[in-house]
Amino acid sequence: MSGSFRTSSGGRIDRAAPLAFRFDGTTYRGYAGDTLASALLANGVHLLGRSFKYHRPRGLLSAGSDEPNALVEVKRDAARVTPNLRATQVELYEGLDAASQNRWPSLARDAGAMNDLFAPFLPAGFYYKTFMWPAGAWKRFYEPKIRAMAGLGKAPTLPDPDRYTQNYAHCDVLVIGAGPAGIASALAAAATGARVILVDEQAELGGSLLAAPDATIDTQPAIEWLADALAELAAAGVVLMPRTTAFGYFPHNMIALAERVTDHLAAPGPDMPRERLWQVRAGEVVLATGALERPLVFPENDRPGILLADSARIYLTRYGVKPGERAVIFTAGDSGYRTALDLAAGGVAIAAVADLRAAPEGEWPARALAAGIDVRPSTVITGTSGRLRVNGVHLAKVKNGKAGLNEPVACDTVLMSGGWTPSVHLFSQSRGKLTWDETLGAYLPGQSVERERSAGACRGRYGLAAALADGYHAGEQAAAEAMKHPASAALKGAKAPTRSTSRAFGVVATETGTDGFIGATPHGRNPAFAKAFVDWQNDVTAKDIALATREGFRSIEHVKRYTTTGMATDQGKTSNMNALGIVSEQLGQPVPKIGLTTFRPPFTPTTFGIFAGTARGDLFDPVRVTPIHGWAEARGAVFEPVSLWKRALYFPNRGEDMHAAVARECKAVRTGVGIFDASTLGKIEVVGPDAAEFMNRIYTNAWTKLAPGRLRYGVMLREDGFVMDDGVVGRLSSDRFHVTTTTGGAARVLAHMEDYLQTEWPDLDVWLTSTTEQWAVIAVQGPNARAVLEPLVEGIDLSKGAMPNMSVAEGRIAGVPTRLFRLSFAGELGFEVNVPAAHGRAVWEAIFKAGEPFGITPYGTETMHVLRAEKGYIIVGQETDGTAGPDDVNLGWAVGKNKKDFVGKRSLNRAAFFMPDRKQLVGLLTRNPKVVLEEGAQLVADPGAAVPVPMLGHVTSAYMSATLGRSIALAMVKGGRSRIGRTLHVPMPKGAIAVEVVDPVFYDAEGARLDV
Amino acid sequence: MLIITCPWCGERPEIEFVYGGEAHIARPTDPSALSDQEWADFLYNRTNPKGTHAERWRHTHGCGRFFNAVRDTVSDFFVATYKPGEPRPDLSQDDAK
């Protein structure tokens, strides 16, 4: 049947460029310029999908992005599978491979169609009513079954191999929609010299001008005028963007555009991204988004072959495709007549035009009568027949709102028009207020919030002449407003629109009136069995909406959610107004009293790829590595992420697991010497005459008396008294501090310091500089640390007397300037060598070489954690959780008691900090020394106590200590210090583990090993 | 995405800024003189108005400086921005935009 519905001439297709494509495995022919929808119609294929809930056979409803039924999957290869594309927007290319969805085993014989027979048992809200019992069955049984049955397309399982880019653009005037109003707007704005971007979701710019064979503009046929206008815009530098959907309107005129770059190409170039996300900041916006034709809600209005009237006209005039051979038209206004006349001229028999109106008047009905078309006023369709394609309708006269006797009429096509709904989606997204227009029976843009204006049919200015005039006026106005923006550089030299530059368009076209209908048409049938669809995509019928109102739902937002009308991927483009009309009738209230649901982005479904852009794989999140990272990698280190950093977790020898490696590394530090990359520590240089005073106010400690050349462990609180961060601080001179922070806390601490410095103490003369990435930090720890470093340093005396624990000296190491700290987070003789980051790797290698005779051992963060836990040193964020004060974690000694004030001091006097049941840091020893507790596990006094068992605290750190030959743990326990010596229990799935509460310092409590 | 006017740098997109809580809540010069209730008010209690709200913002990914702003919590739009230390502008004559 190839091509049997194609007209012999006309349309925008290229008949010299035939294309082959496949649908559900069958090969068909079409032409360049076809959409998948038009090409299938040309081949007489109307059955394109199965409906969401009832699996009813469905065909095309529309010719545009409002299509709710014809969702298809397009496949290029195993990874490039795109589900849920509207066939009306899929451009044909050679070899296109598309398939229908939501059917099994085949589209024509679909097992799920049995749902249609059970429809009386699947009313609105059936999910909530039906799947309640037995408890638990929802997750295990119902939900998986329902999802399998009621799916749309299937997501591809392979990674998306395509590229997506994200771009920014600025313009003076952004025009959305390239129909007559949008083209005229762009002409007006471009005439002033403004930077203009014109976007349209379709492959070809022009909108309704592409299907207006009978209209002329300025004595030219509309299609020729369009070509000239586009050439004029291009010459004026207007950026023309077809295949580009404005899908979101965000504050301050930020518009998100999705540009489909390669989806229409048979062989996309490898250098091209599949799509581009454009974030456009527009000075002014013109919305010229047009209007959507409304279906009529009558029984069985969803069979394949039943289309919107103007969509059928578009298929004929733009694509040269007849929707069928014999059509019945059901209309509430002039649009049906225009379709009838165009189709009749194109060779389609018009069986009848049923008009809801009692007395159709005006030029269009008159022309239809003159053409001998059977026009029937006050007539409705009360039902249709045909399984996979409509084959007849019943027509009935309406008297006093009731349908009379049915008359069968045979046909293969039914075309309907309930009038037009202005597309106010983007206006509403911009948070503009909609107002109800009683005359037009439509919501129109009212008060704007953003710098935008609507033009043409999207604000109810229907008809070609009105759209052009309104569009041109809007473009002039937008350009004039844009000139008032001080920021627009492009407008320097731009001219304000004047009478002489203004344009009027001489239009000859027969305009259609504004009649329409909202709601469900009368049919006189048993409403329990008549399926009159309101929302095609979500299978919502007039009966469902009526039921929702009977069950007490009044708000349209609630009706929407209960029935799911308007909630499908088409966002109710064709259904929202009819749903409103039905609720209005049911409740006996006018439409504007019912309200309107909220329009939200995206206007049409958008790929995940366009949002991910290049942020995937290695580029998903920035990765920070230290200057020594490459050495650790070459050495075979296992890494762990710490905030954005990659840190070496341990350095396994051949055949070692983590446990063995960490035990060996710990032993090396305790008995010989280890080397550790501490470069990720946060570092802040605090400099200035008031640096010491600033430190006094920010930290709990006292700094005034700390001598240059000395280090101090600093504790920082939030104003509420809880521990925020800690770190060792070196005083290099009276006005210069080298502050270190936790790895994850660096940015937070600097922001905290800046906040106080800028806003509370602007009188302090202090500068704060992040130096985290300027310094590489190499920790050399263990009894042999001094012996390893001594031959490498110049100008620094490492002896105990000259450089005791907690001191800092400046000099050189391995020929490089260094700030050499003597300190140990392991509790040993230790140094932290700070060198400029660019020299970090070289100095590390020099130290490692010097250490080889001593068996120097590289160690990772796990060993660092074990060693510090043996010493009872806390890690902020592991022992503390934002509710621990300094005394809770045994840091009361670091609080300067004689300081008048510091951040958090006042809060430490709050009564809560003196409660005896505060959680305090303690050590835990399991009765069985081989058992390592789980971090996070709860502690209880009596595991056999009645539920709920009182929780006393939790394990914060737990390790196997090779040094001690047993497991150790730290914990935060209510009244912990008073429980030392007692036994508590850690309930676990395999039984409670008994633990003894001990002092948290497990090793070298007197600190002798530091003092060497 | 909002455009926010940094008093030092001018108009910049929202992503360059970080919110900093309610403005004009000065840290007491002598916290020890405050009762627990007064200190708790300072720490925790905020006005949370429907309508115009004076708040602190920081141009973190720009000049790094804090400033104050009056923003309409209903529309989300900024009404005015001003430097720290300056008084909250009297906007009673203006309509919030």
Which DSSP string do the residues of B46-74 spell out, in sequence order? ----SSEEEEEEE-TTTT--EEEEEEETT
Q: Do A751 and B77 touch (CB under 8 A)?
A: no
d(CA A229, CA A211): 16
The closest alpha carbon to A417, from A507, A339, A490, A352, belongs to A339
Q: pLDDT digits over A92-110, tens only?
A: 999 999 999 877 778 888 8
**Quick one: pLDDT at residue B96?**
43
CATH of domain A681-771+884-900: 3.30.70.1400
What number is the average pLDDT over the span B65-78?
A: 95
Q: Which residue of A has its CA nearest to B24?
A: A759
pLDDT at A275: 98
Q: Does B39 touch chain A (CB under 8 A)?
A: yes
Amino acid occupying residue A624: R
Question: CATH for A164-291+422-494?
Answer: 3.50.50.60
Whether A758 and B66 lie within 8 Å, measured CB to CB: yes
Distance from CA of A114 to the nearest CA of B (A): 48
Instruction: Tell me if chain A has a CB within 8 Å of the CB of B5.
Output: no
Q: How many CB atoms lie within 10 A of CB A584?
A: 19
Calculate mean pLDDT across residues A264-275: 95
- Rounded Cα gap, residues A680 and A741, in angstroms: 10
Given A720, A755, A911, which is nearest B66 (Cβ)? A755
Size of interface A-B (CB pairs under 8 A): 53
- Confidence bin at A499 (pLDDT 50/70/90): low
Of A340, A339, A356, the C-alpha closest to A296 is: A356
pLDDT of amino acid A357: 96
- Chain B contact set for A907 (CB, 8 A): 39, 43
**pLDDT higher than threshold 80 for residue A688:** yes
The answer to whether residues A222 and A305 touch, using CB atoms and an 8 Å cutoff, is: no
- H or E stretch covering A548: helix A542-550
Subunit contact B66:A759, Cβ cutoff 8 A: yes
Q: What are phi and psi of A366, to 5 degrees?
A: -65, -40
Put simply, the answer to whether A487 touches B11 (Cβ < 8 Å) is yes
CB contact under 8 A, B85 and A252: no
CB contact under 8 A, B30 and A901: yes
Residue in chain B closest to A769 (alpha carbons) equals B64
B-chain residue closest to A280, CA distance: B1
In order, the DSSP letters of A402-446 are EEEEEEEEE-SEEEEE--EEE--HHHHHTTPPEEEETTTTEEEE-
- How far is the alpha carbon of B89 from chain A, nearest alpha carbon, in Å? 18
Identify the pLDDT of residue A639. Answer: 98
Query: Which residues in chain A have Cβ-Cβ distances shorter than 8 Å to B30?
Result: 901
pLDDT tens column, A166-191: 999 999 999 999 999 999 999 999 99
> Which residues of chain B lie closer than 8 angstroms to A905, CB-CB?
31-32
In CATH terms, the fold of domain A621-676+775-873 is Gyrase A; domain 2 (3.30.1360)
A281 CB neighbours in chain B (<8 A) are: 3
| Percentage of chain A modeled with pLDDT above 90 | 88
Q: Residue A911 and residue B36: Cβ atoms within 8 Å?
A: yes
Chain B contact probe: residue of A250, A277, A758, A759 with most B CBs at under 10 A: A759
Band the pLDDT of A151: cuts 50, 70, 90: low
Question: Could you give the C-alpha distances from A763 to A128, A694, B68, in angstroms and in order?
Answer: 63, 10, 18
Contact of B31 with chain A, judged by CB distance below 8 Å, is answered with: yes
| Closest among A642, A632, A623 to A681, alpha carbons compared | A642
Q: Is A378 left (phi over 0), alpha (psi -120 to 50) or beta?
A: left
A733 has a pLDDT exceeding 90: yes
Q: Please report which residue ranges of A735-806 form alpha helices under DSSP H.
A: 746-755, 785-789
pLDDT at A569: 87
Given the structure tokens 């460029």, which residue do they identify? A17
How does strand A14-23 pair with strand A26-32?
Answer: antiparallel
Side-chain-facing half-sphere of A737: CA atoms under 13 Å: 30
* Nearest partner of A365 among A380, A378, A377, judged by Cα: A377
How far is CA A866 from each of CA A280, A819, A824, A873, rounded to the nearest angstrom?
A: 53, 27, 13, 10
Residues 6+ apart with CB under 8 A from A902: A696, A697, A698, A699, A700, A717, A896
Arithmetic mean of pLDDT over chain A? 94
CATH tag, A1-156: 3.10.20.440
pLDDT of amino acid A488: 58
pLDDT of A486 strictly over 60: no
| Mutate: best of A170, A252, A430, partner B, most B CBs <10 A | A252
Cβ–Cβ gap A758/B76 under 8 Å: no
To the nearest whole Å, the CA of B51 is away from the closest chain A CA by 16
Domain spanning A526-588: which CATH class is it, in words? mainly alpha
| CB-nearest partner of A252 from B3, B30, B85 | B3
Chain A residues with beta carbon closer than 8 angstroms to that of B36: 909-911
**A330: amino acid identity, one letter:** F
Within 10 angstroms of residue A784's Cβ, the number of other Cβ atoms is 22
Give chain B positions within 8 Å (CB) of A254.
Answer: 1
Domain boundaries, chain A: 1-156, 164-291+422-494, 295-418+513-520, 526-588, 621-676+775-873, 681-771+884-900, 915-1010
- Cβ contact B56–A759 (<8 Å): yes
Chain A residues with CB under 8 Å of B22 CB are none
Please compute the mean of the pLDDT values over residues A838-851 and round it to a whole number: 98
In the structure, what pLDDT confidence band is assigned to residue A616 with cuts at 50, 70 and 90? very high
Confidence band for A609, pLDDT divided at 50, 70 and 90: very high
Measured between beta carbons, the chain B residues lying within 8 angstroms of A758 are: 65-66, 84
Predicted confidence (pLDDT) per residue in A414-468, tens digit:
999 999 999 999 999 999 999 999 999 999 999 999 999 999 999 999 999 999 9
Best probe of the A interface among B9, B18, B27, B86, by most A CBs < 10 A, is B27
Residue B2: which of A252, A487, A901 has the nearest Cβ?
Answer: A252
Q: What is the pLDDT of residue A35?
A: 98
In angstroms, how far apart are the furthest CA atoms of chain A? Answer: 115
Q: Do A910 and B64 touch (CB under 8 A)?
A: no
What pLDDT, on the 0 to 100 scale, is given for residue A1? Answer: 41
List the domains of chain B with CATH numbers: 3-26+39-82 (3.30.2270.10)
Among B20, B34, B76, whose Cβ lies nearest the Cβ of A906? B34
Whole-angstrom Cα Rg for chain B: 15
Number of other residues whose CB lies within 10 A of the CB of residue A941: 15
Closest CA of chain B from A252, distance in Å: 6
Q: Provide, as residue numbers in chain B, all residues whose Cβ is less than 8 Å from the Cβ of A906.
A: 31-32, 34, 39
| pLDDT 10s digits, A752-784 | 999 999 999 999 999 999 999 999 999 999 999
Q: DSSP assignment, residue A203?
A: S
- B66 interfaces chain A, CB cutoff of 8 Å: yes
Residue A2 binned pLDDT confidence (cut-offs 50, 70, 90): very low
Interface test with B, best of A450, A906, A907, A914 (most B CBs within 10 A): A906
Q: Which of A719, A754, A909 lies nearest to residue B43, judging by beta carbons?
A: A719
Question: How large is the C-alpha radius of gyration of chain A?
Answer: 38
Structure tokens at A241: 């963007």
Whether residue B95 is predicted with pLDDT greater than 60 in this model: the reply is no
Same fold flag, A164-291+422-494 and A295-418+513-520: yes
Closest Cα in chain A to B10: A487
Express each pLDDT in A904-957 by its tens digit.
999 999 999 999 999 999 999 999 999 999 999 999 999 999 999 999 999 999
Hey, are the CB atoms on A762 and B11 less than 8 Å from each other? no
Instruction: Give B30→chain A minimum CA distance, Å.
Output: 8
CATH architecture of A915-1010: Beta Barrel (2.40)
Nearest CA in chain B to A719: B43
Residues 6 or more apart whose CB falls under 8 angstroms from that of A940 comprise: A949, A950, A951, A952, A984, A985, A986, A987, A992
The answer to whether the CB atoms of B3 and A758 lie below 8 A apart is no
A8-45 pLDDT, tens digit per residue, is 999 999 999 999 999 999 999 999 999 999 999 999 99
A117 — pLDDT class (breaks 50, 70, 90): confident
Is the pLDDT score of A150 beyond 60? no
Question: Which of B1, B30, B84 is facing A251, going by the closest CB pair?
Answer: B1
CATH code for the structural domain at A295-418+513-520 = 3.50.50.60
